[in-house]
């Protein structure tokens, strides 16, 4: 007959026993529950970090803009510098220069020289401040340039429209309106015409100006957009009612609420 195990041997045998299937299922369920609780928290933390980084970018752009205005007697730079780009074989936008060859290249391969931007001398060579980190993670986001370049839109009511040279002076903004007048905001547009985008599958791409009724403000921070105002503070603002594009509702691209944010200086 087999000898009975001693108490010490029984304890050793018990310690070596593996988990039962039921015990494993309970552990897996608990781990899954914990992960399910953590994912929304982590997503919110990432979103907050992106919005904070974006606000920091706009603060830097604000400082650069303020220095530019002081050096140019308060006059804003043009959206597109027609005179400066004349005969250059391309277009000189306020954020950088793009050659005609690049402009005709395939989507995602275009190249822009940010060092020639109007604000470049005031940004200390830091080109990264032109890109909001949240646009990289936005669903359906694409990149028309070879690398993210400039995802903030300047107020075109101050810089003038594309191809014009007439800009406004900072003094045209009433002192009481500086806290409500937008200078820059999170911006993007929906591309539906250039492959790989199509009307059936629009893609988000960088955009560089906002204007009254333009619908190019990107509310990418939990349906909010960071806005740099003329008193140099940054604030998260929501969209105007019914302004979000129906082409891609999840993209959250629309217009700022004119009751909260001014674009055109009041005379």
Q: State the DSSP string of 117-182.
A: STTGGGTTT-GGGGS-HHHHHSTTB--SBSS----EEEEHHHH-STT-----BGGGS-GGGTTTBE
Bond preceding residue 251 cis, omega within 30 of 0: no
Average pLDDT, the chain: 85
pLDDT value at residue 10: 47
**Residue 174 corresponds to which tokens in the numbers above?**
């009433």
pLDDT value at residue 62: 97
What's the rounded Cα separation, in Å, for the pair 45 and 206? Answer: 24
What's the rounded Cα separation, in Å, for the pair 153 and 170? Answer: 17
What's the rounded Cα separation, in Å, for the pair 72 and 45? Answer: 41
pLDDT value at residue 6: 57
107 burial type by CB count under 10 A (0-12 exposed, 13-18 middle, 19+ buried): middle
**Whether the predicted pLDDT of 26 surpasses 90:** no
| Better pLDDT: 119 or 128 | 119
Q: Which residues of 78-87 are buried (b: 16+ CB within 10 A; e: fewer)?
A: bbbbeeebee
Most confident range (mean pLDDT) of 14-23, 35-44, 162-171, 176-185 is: 176-185
Reported as half-sphere exposure (CB side, CA atoms, 13 A), residue 204 has a value of 27
**Residue 49 corresponds to which tokens in the numbers above?**
């970090």
Name the phi and psi angles at 178, rounded to 5: -60, -35
Q: Look at phi and psi of residue 205 and say left if phi exceeds 0, alpha if psi is from -120 to 50, else beta.
A: beta
Q: The tokens 């020289």 sit on which residue?
A: 113
pTM of the model: 0.82
**Whether the predicted pLDDT of 1 surpasses 60:** no
3-state class (DSSP) for residue 237: strand
| Better pLDDT: 49 or 3 | 49
8 A C-beta contact, residue 162 and residue 79: yes
């Amino acid at each position: 007959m087999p000898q009975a195990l001693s108490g010490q041997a029984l304890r050793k045998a018990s310690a070596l026993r593996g988990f039962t299937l039921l015990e494993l299922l309970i552990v897996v369920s608990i781990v899954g529950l914990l992960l399910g609780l953590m994912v929304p928290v982590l997503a919110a933390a990432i979103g907050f970090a992106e919005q904070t980084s974006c606000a920091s970018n706009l603060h830097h752009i604000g400082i650069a803009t303020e220095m530019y205005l002081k050096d140019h007697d308060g006059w804003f730079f043009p959206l597109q510098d027609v005179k400066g780009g004349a005969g250059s074989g391309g277009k000189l936008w306020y954020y950088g220069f793009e050659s005609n060859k690049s402009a005709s290249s395939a989507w995602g391969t275009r190249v822009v020289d940010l060092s020639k931007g109007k604000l470049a001398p005031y940004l200390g060579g830091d080109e990264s401040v032109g890109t909001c980190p949240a646009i990289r993670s936005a669903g359906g986001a694409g990149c028309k340039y070879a690398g993210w370049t400039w995802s903030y839109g300047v107020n075109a009511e101050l810089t003038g429209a594309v191809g014009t040279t007439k800009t406004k002076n900072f003094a045209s903004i009433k002192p009481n309106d500086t806290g409500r007048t937008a200078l820059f905001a999170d911006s993007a547009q929906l591309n539906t015409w250039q492959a790989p985008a199509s009307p059936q599958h629009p893609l988000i791409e960088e955009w560089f100006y906002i204007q009254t009724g333009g619908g190019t403000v990107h509310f990418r921070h939990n349906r909010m957009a960071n806005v740099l105002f003329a008193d140099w503070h940054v604030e998260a603002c929501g969209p105007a009612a019914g302004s979000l594009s129906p082409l891609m509702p999840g993209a959250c691209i629309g217009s700022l609420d004119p009751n909260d944010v001014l674009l055109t200086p009041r005379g």
